[in-house]
């Protein structure tokens, strides 16, 4: 394979391009508040309008209540004044009763209105927000699909998946009910101030003097929080990208014992996020504390100045209360709005990320309708490359093509051969317009391809890549997606016809559900050869004018090879075909063979002409020849015999198993899963366990809890001071006493202000800090625990990369709620209730009991709200996980989707996958709205009851007026605290569900735990001898498919054992069993005569190294990728391993040498380069047992010969198990074992097996390149 463009399955990320992203994020335009609603439909706007009207009206209700409130208090004060002036007590009592009843009726009416308004406000805003968020998710995804391939070279899959889940969640938070609440609070604020100024402008003005301070503090806090929240999201995004790479390359991590290094890498990213969180804790704590200090100081001012006005006769006690409570409610409204305002700040940050992608018009826009539309019947397929110069956008310093010129006539088959990195696959990328040349032009039938509509161009081209990408759908669906998106879906007959052409029909017919069998994530339920044949069928079904075969047959076994090659020869008849091949037997019939090196053309000609000229091509052919007689030297013959075509086998039986993309059935299935999991919501919250996890923060938690308790006591004490002051206002006949007492109690208010400042700083600062620490610890624990799981765990449908990454991202953050800021608020509220009730009972138990009896209604409303939100939240989250998988899979395979022009199909899939969660969320919104309405109106009803009964008690002279006020305010402030507790309910419920799911994961015991080393053997010396006895095995994810059926294999130390055979015969399984990815069902696997189950597993794997067919590299530098094989190795060792793998010279030629980033999954490198780095990574371990699973299949002839020599050299003195389809690579093995249907059917050396003329002989015959005389 030639270069970065051909790696179809993934999106790169390099360290330096990541910084490009960061710089580009800095220039991302800010999104204004109104721009957040740019995707609201007319219906959404209507809902927003009525939701806003309802919010305005329900916001005005609170201040209106203060008029009724102060009127009823004035009635009590008038009764006290009448009493102190010696008036007739019965008349005064009667007057009091009448006034109270009249006001109580008005309160009940107001409560009913508030219920209806609050229900409409919450319901309409939530539904409108849900609609817009779904729309933005869909539009963002569509925008991602239309980006050019260069865009994906600069951003990681994890980053995009993270954005679409967490950013869209944050965006939704800021456009839904939070905006309704802000409008409600603004209405409360304005109405309150109008009432206050109407009642007494002078006192109102004095009270307002504190406002600039409050507003300034709130503004600064919101700005700082929005900034730190964005930084935090970015830091967590980077951690998410690490997790995504690790889970998708879990086999490599496991084989090389990289768990601890990956944990360290993940923790390093988490540490950055924690640093941001720590600053956030300080900002939040000090901001809230300052706001509370200002508010309490204002109370002191109010009563001090109010007492002066009363003495001067300019106002009454009732009016002072009305003005004070109105301003208080107005100020509280602004305070309450702060969290919602910060949610809007976060939403603007998230929206700027989302909208910047939505608004990005890529230079190569697959969505564009511009350009000439080609008529299939008139396209001939003549291709001309004129003076093409090209380098990859992500690596401008490395030229790939330098003045490349080539003409291909219609219907010609042109083969491109040459070393890795010579630019062969780049030609494919340029023809598909994944990239545009830097200079020069490509013409199709004389037309510059830049002037042709992109979809129209791609619809003329069929592409089969080396690492074929299949989607988690049925075989039939995967093939059907090959036809142009604007064509009708092909019939089953047409699909079968295409499969017959690619020799896939027979094996598909043997599958459990035939053409309806699911292929798994990335086609992982198929062997490599099966995947490849399905991909070829997919390319053929569209009957393309131009066929591009980039190593299309590299993964086929010899049995399929001949038929597929014939099929490809037939398929290429009459159409222009470009073939890239390292296996030269597949291209010997080409009309033109182009030999390339470093972006230049060295030779052009037919096979026989190039052989005759004995140039570069001749050397390549010699390197790949199979010997059939020991004494014979190679004699070349130009005779092209039909028998001389060759393709090999592949066998990736495992890789990761069944994964599902969204289908109606799978969404429904996962929803049912949720309903089973609703048992969780019935489980109690594992708070004790979370607290045990927080042991290191116990000092913080104790300090924070003390702060919260003091904070909780402030409001009940406030109620005491407040009611005492009100009673003082009845002493209008003793002005001096009134002034003296008012001054004293105003002073007490100021003391409360200082206490509140200190308590809030401590409470919020320390709780948030401990929450951040817990979040970091939990993420680390979950990540660490996941890396302990056996490979079978990752094969399970529900544990795919996307699901695990998003679970890791969301659950830990939510659990933070159990002990973070949420915990502080709960402790504060509980203290508030306890202290408040203690005060109330000490002053009068009757009224206290009546009011307390009514407060469960407040709790009930809160609990209803919580239950519904939590239940629906879990269902929605699970259902959205399905759509998260679609995003992860499509972003990782953008090249395939682009070449199939299937962007529209995936857009539709994604839209369908969001429908179910959307519906669940809408249902949830309605129930939440009812809960919200009840929680808002019940407080008014409790007030009404309290005043009515209090009126009775005072008029019957059971209570004095001061006593009644003390009880009333103590209980009411407690009730308010209790009501506030209900607003934490949804967060608490989400936190509880997340905690339960985290602990469920942490409690799962791994069947093969790499860290379980207690009492395990560490045999010495290790020679690499091993044995498999009567092994029976099937993969846990596919229990019905038997792989090994009594396989026996003995491995002598120091020998090279080769396993050959058809796809799916069980060769790679043998390697997996030695590495102990899995355990056999029956039989035994021994190494050094010790059952691998009894080995210390870390020690076992440290003595082995594997090189697989599709090497997994990480988003590290090339040097770090090689060093992955051995912890703590020196630069010298890295370079030696690179030299042994024939990659050193290439690395040194790069501008940054060993510090060059490999890109996400190594996408900045060609296949051959990746493979050699993987070989270097294996060799640096100095393994006693070397496992080569198709290790050279991706190499060109030139590198293959050198690498094969390196591998032969590496194999000396160590035991090697090698799996190969290209038999020339294993002809010198000490023992060749032919595997068929899970058993070994032949074994011996190359020439002995040929002499037996059995199954191996047939395989060799099919791979002869040049006939031997």
What's the confidence (pLDDT) of residue 890? Answer: 78
Alpha helices in 1103-1143 (DSSP H): 1118-1123, 1131-1140
Q: Residues of 834-860 as b/e, b for ≥16 C-beta within 10 angstroms? A: bbbbebbbebbeebbebbbebbebbbe
State the Cα–Cα distance between residues 1034 and 443, nearest whole angstrom. 52
Residue showing tokens 């090209």: 390
Query: What is the CA angle 917-920-924, rounded to 5?
Result: 135
Q: Within 13 Å of residue 585, how many CA atoms lie on the same side as its CB?
A: 30
CA distance to 88, 108, 241, 952, 991, per residue, from 998 (Å)? 70, 46, 20, 54, 10
Query: Is 113 strand, coil or helix?
Result: helix
- State the burial class of residue 26 (Cβ atoms within 10 Å of its Cβ: 0-12, 13-18, 19+): exposed
- Do the beta carbons of residue 660 and residue 797 sit within 8 Å? yes
Strand partners, 390: 401
State the Cα–Cα distance between residues 275 and 263, nearest whole angstrom. 18
What's the confidence (pLDDT) of residue 985? Answer: 59
Query: Is 141 strand, coil or helix?
Result: helix
Q: Which domains can be identified in the chain, with CATH numbers?
A: 1-25+1112-1182 (3.40.50.300), 31-363+661-1002 (1.20.1560.10), 376-623 (3.40.50.300), 1012-1103+1185-1269 (3.40.50.300)
CA distance to 16, 400, 559, 767, 991, per residue, from 396 (Å)? 12, 10, 43, 49, 47
Tokens at residue 543, please? 């009957």
Collect all residues with Cβ–Cβ distance below 8 Å to 837 and sequence separation of at least 6.
Answer: 848, 852, 970, 971, 974
- Do the beta carbons of residue 948 and residue 995 sit within 8 Å? no
What's the confidence (pLDDT) of residue 20? Answer: 39
- State the burial class of residue 263 (Cβ atoms within 10 Å of its Cβ: 0-12, 13-18, 19+): middle
What's the confidence (pLDDT) of residue 18? Answer: 36
Name the residue among 53, 61, 66, 327 with its Cα closest to residue 189. Answer: 327
State the Cα–Cα distance between residues 901 and 458, nearest whole angstrom. 7
State the Cα–Cα distance between residues 418 and 2, nearest whole angstrom. 8
State the Cα–Cα distance between residues 21 and 717, nearest whole angstrom. 53
What's the confidence (pLDDT) of residue 663? Answer: 34
State the Cα–Cα distance between residues 881 and 584, nearest whole angstrom. 45
State the Cα–Cα distance between residues 113 and 127, nearest whole angstrom. 21
What's the confidence (pLDDT) of residue 525? Answer: 67
* Dihedral pair phi/psi, residue 746, rounded to 5°: -65, -40
Helix (H) or strand (E) holding 1073: helix 1067-1074
| Pairing of β 383-391 and β 439-444 | antiparallel
What's the confidence (pLDDT) of residue 57? Answer: 92
Name the residue among 462, 455, 448, 466 with its Cα closest to residue 388. Answer: 448
- State the burial class of residue 1150 (Cβ atoms within 10 Å of its Cβ: 0-12, 13-18, 19+): middle
Is residue 374 reached through a cis peptide bond, with omega within 30 degrees of 0 on the bond before it? no
- Do the beta carbons of residue 5 and residue 392 sit within 8 Å? yes
- Do the beta carbons of residue 534 and residue 468 sit within 8 Å? yes
Alpha helices in 820-893 (DSSP H): 821-843, 845-854, 856-892
DSSP state of 634: P
Helix (H) or strand (E) holding 463: strand 461-464
Query: Is 39 strand, coil or helix?
Result: coil
* Residue 1231: CB atoms within 10 Å: 16
What's the confidence (pLDDT) of residue 1199? Answer: 66
Chain center to CA of 531: 27
Alpha helices in 15-88 (DSSP H): 15-26, 42-84
State the Cα–Cα distance between residues 1109 and 253, nearest whole angstrom. 16
State the Cα–Cα distance between residues 171 and 345, nearest whole angstrom. 9
Helix (H) or strand (E) holding 953: helix 903-955
Is residue 1021 reached through a cis peptide bond, with omega within 30 degrees of 0 on the bond before it? yes
Collect all residues with Cβ–Cβ distance below 8 Å to 1248 and sequence separation of at least 6.
Answer: none
What's the confidence (pLDDT) of residue 664? Answer: 35
Q: Divide the 1269 residues of the chain into consecutive groups of 10 and give the mean pLDDT of each group.
A: 37 35 48 84 91 91 85 83 78 86 92 91 88 87 84 75 76 82 88 89 83 76 76 81 84 85 87 84 82 81 84 82 81 73 81 84 81 80 86 80 85 83 82 87 86 85 79 82 80 84 78 77 67 82 84 65 68 81 77 84 84 80 62 35 30 32 38 52 69 81 88 85 79 81 86 89 85 85 87 79 78 72 77 87 87 75 56 58 74 80 83 82 80 80 86 86 85 69 64 79 81 71 84 82 85 87 81 87 86 83 83 84 86 87 84 83 75 86 85 68 71 82 79 86 85 82 57
Digit-coded pLDDT (tens) for 588-615? 778 888 888 877 888 888 888 888 888 8
What's the confidence (pLDDT) of residue 878? Answer: 63
Beginning with the edge strand found earlier in the chain, give each strand of the sheet holding 383-391 in spatial order.
399-408, 383-391, 439-444, 447-448
State the Cα–Cα distance between residues 286 and 304, nearest whole angstrom. 27
State the Cα–Cα distance between residues 82 and 1007, nearest whole angstrom. 83
State the Cα–Cα distance between residues 481 and 470, nearest whole angstrom. 10
Query: Is 388 strand, coil or helix?
Result: strand
Residue showing tokens 């391939």: 149
Q: What is the CA radius of gyration of the chain?
A: 37
**pTM (predicted TM-score):** 0.64
- What distance separates the 2 farthest-apart alpha carbons in the chain? 135
Name the residue among 202, 211, 242, 450 with its Cα closest to residue 323. Answer: 202
State the Cα–Cα distance between residues 1192 and 1205, nearest whole angstrom. 11
In terms of residues, how long is the chain?
A: 1269
Digit-coded pLDDT (tens) for 395-431? 787 788 888 888 888 888 888 888 777 788 888 888 8
Tokens at residue 986, please? 């949804």
Tokens at residue 293, please? 């200090």
Query: What is the CA angle 131-677-774, rounded to 5?
Result: 80
Helix (H) or strand (E) holding 1084: strand 1082-1087
| Helix 856-892 × helix 845-854 angle, to 10° | 30
State the Cα–Cα distance between residues 310 and 320, nearest whole angstrom. 8
């Amino acid at each position: 394979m030639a270069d970065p463009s051909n790696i179809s399955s993934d999106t790169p990320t390099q360290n330096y391009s990541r910084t490009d992203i960061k710089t580009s994020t800095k220039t991302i335009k800010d999104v204004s508040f109104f721009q957040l609603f740019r995707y609201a439909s007319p219906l959404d706007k209507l809902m927003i309008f009525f939701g806003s009207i309802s919010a305005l009206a329900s916001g005005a209700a609170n201040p209106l209540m203060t008029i009724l409130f102060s009127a009823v208090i004035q009635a009590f004060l008038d009764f006290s004044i009448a009493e102190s002036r010696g008036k007739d007590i019965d008349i005064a009592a009667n007057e009091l009763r009448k006034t109270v009843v009249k006001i109580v009726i008005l309160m009940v009416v107001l409560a009913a209105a508030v219920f209806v308004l609050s229900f409409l406000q919450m319901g309409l805003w939530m539904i409108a927000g849900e609609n817009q968020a779904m729309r933005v998710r869909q539009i963002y995804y569509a925008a991602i699909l239309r980006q050019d391939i260069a865009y994906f070279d600069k951003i990681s899959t994890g980053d995009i998946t993270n954005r679409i889940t967490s950013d869209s969640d944050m965006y939704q938070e800021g456009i839904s009910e939070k905006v309704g609440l802000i409008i409600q609070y603004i209405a409360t604020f304005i109405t309150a101030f109008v009432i206050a100024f109407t009642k007494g402008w002078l006192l109102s003005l004095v009270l307002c003097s504190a406002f600039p301070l409050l507003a300034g503090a709130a503004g600064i806090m919101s700005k700082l929080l929005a900034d730190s929240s964005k930084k935090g999201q970015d830091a967590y995004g980077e951690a998410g990208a690490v997790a995504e790479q690790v889970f998708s390359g879990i086999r490599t991590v496991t084989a090389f014992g990289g768990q601890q290094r990956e944990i360290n890498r993940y923790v390093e990213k988490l540490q950055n996020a924690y640093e941001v969180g720590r600053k956030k804790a300080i900002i939040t704590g000090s901001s809230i504390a300052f706001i509370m200090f200002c508010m309490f100081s204002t109370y002191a001012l109010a009563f001090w100045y109010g007492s002066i006005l009363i003495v001067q006769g300019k106002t009454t006690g009732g009016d002072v209360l009305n003005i004070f409570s109105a301003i208080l409610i107005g100020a509280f409204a602004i305070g309450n709005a702060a969290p919602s305002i910060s949610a809007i700040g976060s939403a603007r940050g998230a929206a700027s990320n989302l909208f910047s992608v939505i608004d990005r018009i890529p230079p190569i826009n697959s969505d564009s309708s511009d350009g000439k539309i080609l008529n299939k019947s008139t396209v001939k397929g003549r291709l001309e490359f004129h003076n093409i110069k090209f380098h990859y956008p992500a690596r401008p310093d490395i030229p790939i093509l330098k003045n490349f010129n080539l003409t291909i006539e219609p219907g010609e088959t042109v083969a491109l051969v040459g070393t890795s990195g010579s630019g062969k696959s780049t030609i494919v990328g340029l023809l598909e317009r994944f990239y545009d040349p830097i200079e020069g032009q490509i013409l199709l039938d004389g037309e510059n391809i830049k002037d042709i509509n992109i979809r129209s161009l791609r619809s003329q081209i069929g592409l089969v890549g080396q690492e074929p990408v299949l989607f988690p759908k049925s075989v039939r669906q995967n093939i059907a997606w090959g036809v142009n998106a604007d064509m009708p879906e092909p019939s089953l007959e047409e699909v079968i016809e295409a499969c017959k052409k690619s020799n896939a029909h027979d094996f598909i017919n043997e599958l459990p559900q035939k053409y309806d069998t699911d292929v798994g994530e990335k086609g992982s339920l198929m062997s490599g050869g099966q995947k490849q044949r399905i991909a070829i069928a997919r390319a053929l079904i569209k009957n393309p004018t131009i066929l591009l075969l980039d190593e299309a047959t590299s993964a086929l076994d010899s049995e399929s090879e001949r038929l597929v090659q014939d099929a490809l020869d037939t398929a290429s008849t009459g159409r222009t075909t470009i073939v890239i091949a390292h296996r030269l037997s597949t291209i010997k019939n080409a009309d033109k063979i182009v030999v390339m090196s470093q972006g230049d053309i060295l030779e052009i000609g037919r096979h026989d002409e190039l052989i005759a000229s004995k140039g570069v091509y001749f050397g390549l052919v010699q390197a790949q020849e199979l010997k059939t007689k020991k004494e014979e030297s190679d004699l070349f013959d130009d005779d092209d015999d039909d028998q001389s075509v060759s393709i090999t086998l592949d066998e990736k039986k495992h890789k990761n198993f069944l994964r599902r993309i969204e289908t109606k059935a799978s969404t429904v299935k996962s929803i049912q899963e949720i309903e089973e999991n609703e048992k969780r919501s019935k489980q109690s919250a594992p708070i004790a366990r979370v607290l045990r996890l927080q042991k290191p923060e116990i000092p913080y938690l104790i300090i924070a809890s003390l702060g919260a308790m003091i904070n909780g006591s402030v409001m009940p004490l406030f109620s005491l001071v407040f009611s005492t002051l009100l009673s003082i206002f009845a002493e209008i006949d003793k002005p001096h006493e009134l002034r003296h007492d008012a001054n004293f109690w105003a002073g007490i208010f100021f003391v409360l202000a200082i206490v509140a400042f200190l308590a809030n700083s401590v409470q919020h600062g320390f709780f948030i800090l401990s929450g951040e620490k817990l979040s970091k610890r939990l993420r680390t624990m979950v990540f660490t625990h996941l890396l302990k799981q056996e490979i079978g765990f990752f094969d399970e449908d529900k544990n795919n990369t996307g699901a695990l990454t998003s679970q890791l991202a969301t659950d830990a953050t939510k659990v933070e709620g159990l002990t973070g800021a949420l915990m502080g608020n709960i402790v504060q509220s509980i203290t508030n209730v306890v202290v408040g009730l203690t005060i109330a009972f000490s002053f009068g138990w009757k009224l206290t009991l009546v009011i307390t009896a009514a407060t469960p209604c407040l709790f009930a409303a809160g609990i209803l709200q919580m239950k519904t939100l939590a239940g629906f939240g879990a269902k929605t989250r699970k259902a959205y996980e399905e759509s998260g998988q679609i995003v992860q899979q499509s972003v990782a395979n953008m090249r395939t989707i682009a070449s199939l022009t299937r962007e529209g199909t995936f857009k539709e899939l994604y839209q369908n996958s969001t429908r179910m969660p959307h519906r669940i969320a809408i249902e949830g919104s309605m129930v939440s709205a009812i809960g919200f309405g009840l929680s808002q109106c019940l407080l008014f009803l409790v007030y009404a009851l309290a005043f009515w009964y209090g009126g009775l008690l005072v008029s019957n002279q059971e209570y004095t007026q001061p006593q009644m006020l003390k009880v009333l305010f103590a209980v009411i402030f407690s009730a308010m605290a209790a009501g506030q507790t209900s607003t934490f309910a949804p967060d608490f419920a989400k936190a509880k569900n997340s905690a339960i799911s985290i602990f469920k994961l942490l409690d799962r015991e791994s069947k093969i735990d790499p860290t379980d080393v207690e009492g395990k053997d560490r045999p010495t010396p290790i020679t690499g001898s091993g044995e498999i006895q009567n092994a029976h095995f099937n993969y846990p994810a596919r229990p019905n498919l038997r792989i090994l059926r009594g396989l026996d294999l003995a491995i002598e130390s120091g020998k090279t054992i080769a396993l050959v055979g058809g796809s799916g015969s069980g060769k790679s399984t043998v390697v997996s069993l030695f590495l102990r990815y899995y355990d056999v069902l029956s039989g035994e696997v021994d190494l050094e005569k010790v059952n691998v189950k009894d080995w210390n597993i870390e020690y076992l794997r440290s003595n082995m190294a594997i090189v697989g067919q599709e090497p997994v590299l990480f988003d590290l530098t090339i040097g770090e990728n090689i060093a992955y094989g051995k912890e703590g190795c020196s630069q010298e060792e890295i370079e030696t391993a690179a030299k042994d793998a024939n990659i050193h010279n290439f690395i040194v030629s790069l501008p940054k040498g060993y510090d060059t980033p490999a890109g996400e999954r190594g996408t900045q490198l060609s296949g051959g380069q990746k493979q050699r780095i993987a070989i270097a990574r294996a060799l640096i371990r100095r393994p006693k047992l070397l496992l080569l699973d198709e290790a050279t299949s991706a190499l060109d002839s030139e590198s293959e010969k050198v690498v094969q020599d390196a591998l032969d050299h590496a194999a000396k003195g160590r035991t090697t198990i090698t799996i190969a389809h290209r038999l020339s690579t294993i002809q010198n093995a000490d023992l060749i074992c032919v595997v068929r249907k899970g058993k070994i059917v032949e074994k011996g050396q190359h020439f002995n097996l040929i002499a037996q003329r059995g199954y191996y002989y047939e395989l060799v015959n099919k791979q002869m390149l040049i006939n031997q005389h």
